[in-house]
Amino acid sequence: MSEILYDEIPSVDLSDFISGNLIRKQNFVQTLGDAFQNIGFVAVRNHSLSDELTANLYQSVKQFFALAETTKLAYQLPGVKGQRGYTARGKEHAKGRTIGDLKEFYHVGQELSSADRASLGYPENVFPQEVPQFKTATTQAYSILEAAGIQILRAIAIYLELDEFYFDNQVRLGNSILRAIHYFPLENPQDVNRGAVRAAAHGDINLITLLMGASADGLQILRQDGKWISVTALPEQIVVNVGDMLERLTNKKLKSTIHRVVNPPQDLWSTPRYSIPFFMHPVSTMNLACLASCITHDYPKQFEDIIAGEFLNQRLQEIGLI
């Protein structure tokens, strides 16, 4: 199926899916699924994130990134592949590039007992003592975005003619990550001259990403015709996109669309940018083999079988975190 060339991403209302009204639910599923099949992105409202929580979260994130570099580096943990705590500037780069992105970030994962963490192989979270509200704000946002993501995955399952709850047990204790990102002001023209950008063109690794509204413009997605289009969600919306794991599972029926965060115009170089995506991952043992229903004579199988944990490690190597 040829991609419908949207000039802006479609919008859906999550309350339609959970309303109990069958027609509203079916319309949500169809609109969401068609958007993910055509452009891989959609804007979602009524996701349950309150304005107060969002404001508190961004305030605590900005306070952390304003700390001295030596203080922040105390939260850069050895041996966890960048999957918890702080990651400094230039550590991560897009697949196929060697120039690091102009950003720093902080990862928060599942809050679990030590026994559950050990059985699942997840690192322990670490929270900055210098910003006491950081833990409360990030873990609350994590729970709300995870719940919204489960509902969206249920809609995807229906669209794919699977059991509605196909993904539930794969993601409830999944290796999902809330990432708080600070994109630096462009203080050094040499960075721009050597081709460094805030986030180079890439696809996400996970099943789906739920992105809270960023503090400045810059997000662009690549249409099938090669045109980059800008994405700016309304204040009451989050942006949700397909990741590479879901694209693999569906044999490219659903699109993990390439996207980037471009540098601002020169008159705005002194302006920082903050954003907070939630990367929804399954448990490491989830089988990402292409669904039989997505393999046909016209669309033969395009990916080798792999489980989620192995795929994640491959991609972390490619982007410089291993």
Tens digit of each residue's pLDDT (9 = 90 or more) over 57-89: 999 999 999 999 999 999 999 888 889 999 998
d(CA 247, CA 208): 10
For the segment 235-242, the average pLDDT, to the nearest whole number, is 93
pLDDT digits (tens, 9 = 90+) for 262-309: 888 888 888 999 999 999 999 999 999 999 999 999 999 999 999 999
Cβ distance 260 to 202 under 8 Å?
yes
Looking up tokens 């879901």 gives 246
In-domain check, residue 73: yes
Does residue 18 belong to any structural domain of this protein? yes
Q: Is there a domain that residue 31 lies in?
A: yes
What does the pLDDT read at residue 196? 80
Mean of the per-residue pLDDT values of the chain: 92
Say yes or no to pLDDT of 14 above 70: yes
Q: How confident is the model over 154-201, as pLDDT tens digits?
A: 999 999 999 999 999 999 999 999 999 999 988 777 776 677 888 888
What is the SS3 string spanning 171-199?
A: HCCCCCEEEEEEECCCCCHHHHHCCCCCE
Q: What is the mean pLDDT of residues 2-21?
A: 87
Domain CATH for 232:
2.60.120.330
Identity of the highest mean pLDDT range in 2-11, 152-161, 177-186, 225-234: 152-161
| pLDDT digit string, tens, across residues 117-134 | 999 999 999 999 999 999
Q: Residue 2 falls within a domain, yes or no? A: no
Question: Could you tell me how many residues make up the chain?
Answer: 322
Q: Assess if residue 3 is contained within a domain.
A: no
> Residue 1 falls within a domain, yes or no?
no
Residue 253, pLDDT score:
96
Query: How many independent structural domains does the chain possess?
Result: 1
Q: Percent of the chain, pLDDT > 70?
A: 97
What residue numbers bound the domain in which 302 lies? 11-318
DSSP string, 100-144: PPSEEEEEE-----HHHHHHHTPPPP---TTSTHHHHHHHHHHHH
Whether 4 is in a domain gets the answer no
Instruction: Tell me the average pLDDT across 27-41.
Output: 96
263 domain residue, yes or no: yes
SS3 241: strand
